[in-house]
Amino acid sequence: MATVMPASHPTWFRIAAIAAIVWNVFGVIMYLHSVGVFGDPTAGLSEPERAAAASVPGWITGAFAIGTFAGLLGSVGLLLRSLWAQPVLFVSTVMLLVLEGWIVFLSGALEVFGLAVPLMVSIGAILLAWLATHARRHGWLS
């Protein structure tokens, strides 16, 4: 049985996969900071910011964890040109949209933290899911 080799991919794809890994490492660091791995996550926050941070329900923290770690894993999958990168990045996108949707529409924290980060995270996740789909359609993943 012959092994099917993935189609040749453009240089920009490898650069995008590396950038995605860097982006998602930052997201994982932010998650680890938010759960106290690097010390008190509320150190240096104002009272309104502390209140907003304390109001985060466990299921949102779980969505944050799944979204960020799946994003990193899926980005590594893109660099490795693995077919499993696409579903992993879709899971990441869904979880991050749940997180950002909660922040924007349900938490009341939007006034405290602003819209910039939720927009950047949502757009980044959607673009990575699109990139994985694009790569799969072009045969760059196997």
The contacts of residue 137 (CB under 8 Å, 6+ apart) are none
Residue 5 lies inside a defined structural domain of this protein: no
Residue 1 lies inside a defined structural domain of this protein: no
Q: State the total domains in the chain.
A: 1
pLDDT bracket for residue 3 (50, 70, 90): low
pLDDT bracket for residue 7 (50, 70, 90): low
pLDDT of residue 2: 52
Q: How many C-beta neighbours within 10 Å does residue 47 have?
A: 9
Residue 54 lies inside a defined structural domain of this protein: yes
Residue 6 lies inside a defined structural domain of this protein: no
Domain ranges, residue 129: 11-137
Say whether pLDDT at 46 is over 90: no
Residue 2 lies inside a defined structural domain of this protein: no
Residue 66 lies inside a defined structural domain of this protein: yes
Contact yes or no for 125/97 (Cβ under 8 A)? yes
Q: Which two tokens stand for residue 132?
A: 């994985």
- Hey, what amino acid is at 73? L
Say whether pLDDT at 141 is over 60: yes
Residue located via tokens 């960020």: 68
Residue 3 lies inside a defined structural domain of this protein: no
Q: What is the mean pLDDT of residues 32-59?
A: 90
What whole-number distance in Å separates Cα of residue 81 and Cα of residue 59? 31
